[in-house]
Chain A
Amino acid sequence: MKHFFKLMLRNPGGLIGLVILTIAILVALFGPLVFPTSPWRMVQRPFLPPFTLSTVPLGTDALGRDVFAGIIYGARVSLLVGLVSTLVALAVGVPLGAIAGYFGGRIDDALMRFTEFFQTIPSFALAIVLVAILQPSIYSIVGSIAIVSWPPVARLVRGEVLSLRTREYVQAAIVTGQTHRWIIWREILPNALSPVIVLASLMVATAILLESSLSFLGLGDPNLISWGYMVGAGRTVVRQAWWITVFPGFAILLSVLGLNLVGEGLNDALNPRLAGNGR
């Protein structure tokens, strides 16, 4: 584990990503405690440019709401949606892929055709349709993002399991009379974990983008402020008041970039052979 962190830190990109991500998480956790003003409250005159008043450092939007407060509160929604929908996607994709890869044959065929069914529909279109049908709420958004993002997990896990199940230690487990469930759980999955972790970190980034896109289209949870909603709300006045869209957009960019850098750092740390001049 120590070795792993050393590798992670040796990669400057991964380190930067980790710093960005830590800041984002801290803001999401403690920001609302430090800035108790609701992001929906009108605090100043509309269209106040940034850096003019120290109480509203990033200016106000069309209704006089604090952009800075919006970004602080939006971090919660964005990160929460990213994290939870990824967890749900993993909870669906990992077992499905593991079962398909381990048992093979007809079961594999059936599960993979089912997976392909989801993969053939453009994911963003499916997410829009699902949220529109289910009414926009934080649950329907998380659910629909999870539904469109589990198939790659299932395919990845299936591929890993397919190669791991022929390993000698898995055969040894079969010969010693262990049950399928235990073999998958103890012998196979722990060894298939590293690529899944890497994929998951990138999925969180994609989920944040998806949530932003949905909110941008007005399909966000109406009771929660999110970065995508802010960009969407400010887009009509982007020429007069650039700050309303640019700052939340920058927040999205930074957190997605941070997650991608972490993902790459994880990849290098977990697959030392791919890290170029490894061993």
Chain B
Amino acid sequence: MPESSSISIRDLKIALPPGSERPYAVDGISFDLAAGDIVCVVGESGSGKSMCAHALMGLLPGSVTIESGEVLFEGKNLLLSDDDGWRGIRGRGIAMVFQEPMTALNPLMRIGDQMMEMFEAHGLLSPPERRQKALDLAREVGLPDPERIVRAYPHQLSGGQRQRAMIALALALEPAVLVADEPTTALDVTTQAQILKLIRNLQSSRDMAVMFITHDFGVVADIADRVVVLRHGRVVEQGSAAEVLGHPEHPYTRALLAAVPSLEPPVRMPITGQSRAVEVIGLDKTYVTSGGWFRPDRKVQAARQVNFEILKGETLGLVGESGSGKSSVARLVTRLIEPDRGTVRLGDIDFTSLGGSALREQRRRIQMIFQDPFASLNPRRKVGAIISDGPIAGGADPATARQRARDLLAMVGLDPLAASRYPHEFSGGQRQRIGIARALALDPEIIVADEAVSALDVSVQAQVLALLEDLKARLGLSVLFITHDLRVAAQICDRIAVMQRGEIVELKPTAALFASPEHPYTRELLDAVPGLRSPSHAA
């Protein structure tokens, strides 16, 4: 064991309950965390990276068992600790930052109280000293107006502020090791960039060891000193960030890096002379939440004078951060919600004026692919029925529709026999393919893809994107592609519209947008994309 390492994992094996898809969640992992180092543990979903982090904190779920291995911290094997032993180490020796700050913070407790609770739990300091410490911590993690914010409740903070508060909690007892489990995944890119910088700064000023778990190679490139690549619970490659990212040795690492979409938009032929598939004119939508008797109503403008058109065979990207209204626009265009004002025209039909059965009939022309592959398929219907329900509702002959469903499954790269199985038997990527087949079953002219690849691992994401591109070209579809990921947008879109607070602030051909962003918000978004220095960018 090298002298400098503050925690080291030796041959850790964590067994999954019998009947799982593989015997070990973590299968013989060894690596060291050295003080002053940020080690990124990278892997796709199911690679065992979170299991690893939870083992370090003694937070493994009851259904798994540690079969062998040790976690050495200050000369002791943590895995042998009892509950008391763990309590002494958690927070004080090793602290953790979770993925979703909203659920990791107690919603009924003020931020400051939660920080003071850290000291109280370990019986440290007097109450006034704790209060002072809480203020210092809030200041250190860059929370604005610390005096006020320590008295705020979690829901009163923005996502980024909540994650800062979470980090403050983790740092309260000056731990030697910080474990961060996807701490920026739930955040917007610009916020993510700030949080990454914060973790970097705190780590160097406190000389901590940081174990940073992520699936995003952009983030790795920005923050890692060392990288550990996991696959199926095994380490496939580890080394310094420059080595692993610059000269990956293992084919899996190379494949992962190659799958990260580049920010460099490919050259695309401008689409001209085509007719308009969709035209959106002056869409307005305001959500009003009733405030009750004594408070004013809460109003959120989700769409403000949104105008755009998509030509036949064109892909229009709609990018923006969460809350910018891009998903609302998707739902307005497909008429899942009704606009306050404005018109959506499909070809020469005014889609917004239709109702009842006329609307149902025209709906087939504009179809949607949803974000969450797990929530977008009815768990109690067979895949074949899910795909053929729409055409049958539209009056198609059931036998023909079912045959068509099998053909479509083949078209999206699945076994036609999948039609007689239930959605839970498929992986995320496969489910997303089923979702695409469902959309195609109605022979639509326009497809609205709402964050259709955001929930997928990079390698799967690349495959689904390739499939979408191919289908679009073959069937002459127009696509409204909604995403928060500028890398994906760069690869797939002909033109990109940038949305901020319900407004489209810039709409340009993709290459022009990346080459010369005009609006300050667009520039901010582009600068915040993680991994601008990454080798994949140069490739």
Q: Do A and B come from one complex?
A: yes
Contact of A175 with B393 in the complex, beta carbons under 8 Å: no
Contact status of A167 and B360, CB under 8 A, knowing A178-B390, A190-B380: no
Complex: A230 Cα to B238 Cα, angstroms: 79
Interface-located stretch among A128-136, A141-149, A179-187: A179-187
Question: Is A138 positioned at the interface, with any CB of B under 8 Å from its CB?
Answer: no
Q: Contacting chain A: which of B37-45, B366-374, B514-522?
A: B366-374
The answer to whether residues A172 and B379 also contact, given A177-B361, A277-B62 and a CB cut-off of 8 A, is no
B377 pairs with A279, CB closer than 8 A = no
Q: Nearest Cβ in chain A — how far from B401, in angstroms? A: 11
In whole angstroms, how far apart are the Cα atoms of A218 and B537 in the complex?
85
Considering only CB atoms, which chain A residue lies closest to B334 in the complex? A175
| Smallest CB gap from B377: residue in A | A169
Question: CA of A260 to CA of B40 in the docked complex: distance in angstroms?
Answer: 52
B379 close to A176 (CB less than 8 A): no
State A191–B389 Cα separation when bound (angstroms). 17
B366 to chain A, nearest CB (A): 8
| A186, B389: Cβ atoms closer than 8 Å | yes
Q: Is the CB of A179 within 8 A of B360?
A: yes
Task: Specify which chain B residues have a CB less than 8 angstroms from the CB of A176 in the assembled complex.
Answer: 363-364, 367, 389-390, 393-394, 438, 441-442
Most chain A beta-carbon contacts within 10 A, residue among B363, B393, B394: B393
Binary contact readout B383-419 vs A (1 if CB under 8 angstroms, 0 otherwise):
0001001100110000000000000000000000000
**A186-B381, A191-B378 as given contacts; A172 in contact with B393, CB under 8 Å:** no
- In the assembled complex, B435 has its CB within 8 A of some CB on chain A: yes
- Given A167-B375, A168-B376, A169-B375, the answer on whether A175 and B368 have CB atoms closer than 8 Å is yes
A178 touching B393 in the complex, CB below 8 Å, given contacts A168-B370, A172-B435, A279-B63: yes
Interface residue SS majority, chain A: helix
Do A177 and B390 touch (CB < 8 A)?
A: yes
Q: How far is the CB of A276 from chain B (nearest CB, A)?
A: 10
Taking CB atoms and an 8 Å cut-off, the chain A residues in 178-202 that contact chain B are 178-179, 182, 186-187, 190-191
Q: Is B121 located at the chain interface by the 8 A CB criterion?
A: no
* Of A168, A169, A182, A277, the contact of B371 (CB 8 Å cutoff): A168
Task: Please encode chain B, from 464 to 493, with 1 for each CB lying within 8 Å of some chain A CB and 0 for all others.
Answer: 000000000000000000000000000000
- When chains A and B are docked, how far (Å) is the Cα of A190 from the Cα of B385? 14
Contact B379–A191 (Cβ < 8 Å): yes
Asked if A62 is at the interface of the complex by the 8 Å CB criterion, the answer is no
Q: Which residues in A have their C-beta under 8 angstroms from that of B361?
A: 177
B336 in contact (CB, < 8 A): yes
- Chain B residues within an 8 Å CB radius of A277: 62-63
Q: How many A-B residue pairs have CB under 8 A?
A: 72
Asked if A172 and B63 make an inter-chain contact with CB atoms under 8 angstroms apart, the answer reads no
Number of interface residues of A (CB under 8 A): 19
A38 to chain B, nearest CB (A): 48
Q: A176-B364, A177-B390, A179-B393 are in contact. Are A191 and B438 (CB under 8 A)?
A: no
Question: Number of B residues contacting the other chain (C-beta, 8 Å)?
Answer: 32
A177 touches B380 (CB 8 A): no
Residues from chain B with Cβ under 8 Å of A186 in the complex: 378, 381, 389
> In the assembly, what is the distance between CA of A38 and CA of B393, in Å?
56
Task: Give complex CA distance A277, B62 in Å.
Answer: 8
Instruction: Name which of A169, A277, A279 has the most chain B CB atoms within 10 A of its CB.
Output: A169
Tell me, in angstroms, the Cα distance from A186 to B389 when the chains sit together: 10
Inter-chain CA distance A175–B368, complex, in Å, is 7
A174 at interface by CB-CB < 8 Å: yes
**Given A167-B375, A175-B334, A178-B390: A191 touches B380 (CB 8 Å cut-off):** yes
Q: Which of B262-302 contact A (CB under 8 A)?
A: none
Chain A residues with CB under 8 Å of B442's CB are 176-177
User: Which A residue's beta carbon lies closest to that of B369?
Assistant: A172
The minimal Cβ–Cβ distance linking A196 to chain B, given in whole angstroms, is 14
Quote the shortest CB–CB distance from A48 to chain B (angstroms): 56
Contacts of A172 in B (CB 8 A): 368, 370, 376, 435, 438
With contacts A176-B442, A177-B442, A191-B380 taken as known, whether A171 is within 8 angstroms of B368 at the C-beta atoms is: yes
A168–B394 CB distance below 8 A: no
B393 contacts A182, CB within 8 Å? yes
Interface residues of A in 235-261 (CB under 8 A from B): none
Known: A168-B370, A187-B378. A177 touches B435 (CB 8 A): no
**Does any Cβ of B come within 8 Å of A173's Cβ?**
yes
In chain A, residues 257-279, which have Cβ atoms closer than 8 Å to a Cβ of chain B? 277, 279
**In the complex, what distance in Å separates the CA atom of A7 from the CA atom of B368?**
37
Closest chain A residue to B376 by CB distance?
A168
Query: Using Cβ atoms and an 8 Å threshold, which residues of chain A touch B372?
Result: 168
CA distance A173 to B392 in the complex (A): 12
Question: B360's contact among A177, A187, A190, by CB below 8 Å, is which?
Answer: A177
Q: A245: shortest Cβ distance to chain B, in Å?
A: 47
Bound together, the chains give a CA A169 to CA B394 distance in angstroms of 18
| Chain A residues closer than 8 Å to B381, beta-carbon distance | 186-187, 190
Residue of B nearest to A182 (CB): B393
CA distance A14 to B334 in the complex (A): 47
- With both chains docked as a complex, state the minimum distance between the C-beta of B467 and any C-beta of chain A, in angstroms: 18
The smallest C-beta distance from B189 to any residue of chain A, in angstroms, reads 24
Select one of A175, A190, A191 contacting B367, CB under 8 A. Answer: A175
Contacts of A174 in B (CB 8 A): 336, 363
Residue of A nearest to B381 (CB): A186
Q: A190-B380, A191-B379, A191-B380 are in contact. Are A175 and B63 (CB under 8 A)?
A: no
Can you name 6 A-B residue pairings with CB atoms under 8 Å? A169-B376, A175-B334, A182-B393, A186-B381, A277-B62, A277-B63
Additional pairs, 16, CB under 8 Å, beyond known A177-B361, A178-B390: A167-B375, A168-B370, A168-B372, A171-B331, A172-B368, A172-B435, A172-B438, A175-B363, A176-B393, A176-B394, A176-B441, A177-B442, A178-B360, A186-B381, A186-B389, A279-B61
Shortest 6 CB-CB distances between A and B: which pairs? A176-B390, A168-B376, A177-B363, A168-B370, A178-B393, A177-B360
